[in-house]
Amino acid sequence: MTRRGFIIAIASFIASIFRGVGKSMGALIESPDLAVCKKIHTQGEVVIETTCCPPNRKKIVDFVFETPSRIRVRPAVQHMTVEHIEKYKEATRRMKALDKDDPRSFAQQANVHYAYCDDAYSEMGLPQMPLEVHKSWLFFPFHRWYLYFHEKILRSLIEDDDFVLPFWNYDDPSSMTLPSIFDEINSPLYDQLRNQDLCGSTKLINFRSYRDDPQPQLTDTEIIQNNLRVMRLQMVTNSKTTQQFFGGKYIVDRPRPNHTPGSLEMFPHNIVHSWVGSKSTPKGEDMGSFHTAARDPIFYVHHTNIDRLWGVWKDINCKNKDPDELEFLEASFLFYDEKAQLTRVTIKDCLNTSALGYRYDNVPIPWLDLDKTCAPTFINRRGSNNLRKVIFPLVLKSMESITIRRRMNNRSEVEKESREEVAIIDDIELDYEESVMFDVYINPSDADIRTDMSNFCSSFMNVPNGGRSIIDVKTRFVVGLTDLLDGIQADNDEYIVITLVPRKGNIKIGGLFIDFLDRHNF
């Protein structure tokens, strides 16, 4: 038995003993078997390979830490030197020039994302159950490893041990437009399938909207202020607990796929994907659909920023911690390294970026102290029995307001610090091959994109998949209430009104209830 097999066997044995006692332990998520990678047939105007499966080289080695000679610093795109930009272009050009069957090639690198997020892989021993790295606690660590190996391949192709990927910090007003280095038509960093409204312009990405939104247009000042408020909302208000930030636990051998996306994955992650994708393709390819997103070089600097924000979340509050469950720490993935060697990695080995040899340059975080510099107005329409009764399941075709009785009101500061009050929108059904979006508000008099941000809880947004075959999938969406209730002076209220506003696509909601989440426990 291999060392890894021994660890998994012991972990499963321990889990069987302690299941149901204290913190529950489930089966471990094992890296997929490449030999049974499924072909995916995607129809539409965009040409997609019939298979996204990588070359199947049977020899697999376990990841071993290198001793970093230094900690490399990933810079913001706008702070890159001319020399760094040229090296980035050359490394990408060489990656694109590799044979498409070379696992280090740009085509194969793009297929890594395609395979892991579009049902090409199944859970080990469960061929009917797709392995999905979005909408759960796998999201952050999978993409960190993905970027780590992508960067190492680029570095090796230009034989420059100092090379690092940059990050696109669109959470800062100075960087809310498409970075100009990706907008040169003859550059290897260019992708034709992009939202042309963003190309060669100063048009801002709007976190409250999507690329073809018919909602009223906002001024640049309004967009910037809304974007900053969304960032604070997602990084602070909706991230008080580990579960809110990371998303739900990935449970192996469950009756159906379990989807509970984390706060940052939903916004700004999903909305940036949507905005950058083309308006002229069926699903917003490239960036606007997960099966093609990594074909656009901007995908990687989008995700370095998401990776940076993971670290920011831990830095802004010492109580913000990574999950410590065994089934999280020992979950594993497979990637090809810069020598085309198939390598098995575990989540526990990517939690310290210094151990991986990199960190992010320090840049301003203008959304962090936003509540100290702004005193917004708010609306508090208290819960009322005059609202018509809403029956679930609910097909969300128009704005719906639901009065909910809270389980506990007027909570102490100690109670608020230890447990977060949340609204859970449960058993959401939608077509995962389509863009879907709806907004959530608390106690508004009415609600649309111009409603004051003090009443805005968050938005749910689905980025389309390419060829999903699983039908019986339901999603849970969690929004934090504690700060919002304090902000609109409603913490003493026994009833509150949750308003759901459909923005795009067809949505069916199974239920809505209030619960409390511990800061760290899942």
Give the residue numbers marked as catalytic. Answer: 113, 134, 143, 269, 273, 290, 303
CB 44 within 8 A of CB 282: yes
Spatial distance between the Cα atoms of 252 and 206, rounded to a whole number of angstroms: 36
Q: Is 480 helix (H, G, I), strand (E, B) or coil?
A: strand
What b/e readout covers 479-512, taking b as 16+ CB neighbours within 10 angstroms? bbbbbbbebbebbebebbbbbbbbbbbebebeeb
Q: What letter does residue 196 receive in the DSSP assignment? A: T
Question: Over 292-324, what HEC string results?
Answer: CHHHCCHHHHHHHHHHHHHHHHHHHCCCCCCCC
Residue indicated by tokens 């194969």: 108
- Does 282 sit behind a cis peptide bond, omega within 30 degrees of 0 on the bond before it? no
Sequence-distant (≥ 6) Cβ neighbours of residue 484 within 8 angstroms? 237, 442, 454, 455, 457
**Which helix or strand (DSSP H or E) is residue 274 part of?**
helix 271-276
Take residue 67 and report the two structure tokens written for it: 């001793």
Spatial distance between the Cα atoms of 135 and 125, rounded to a whole number of angstroms: 22
Backbone phi, psi, residue 359, to 5°: -150, 175
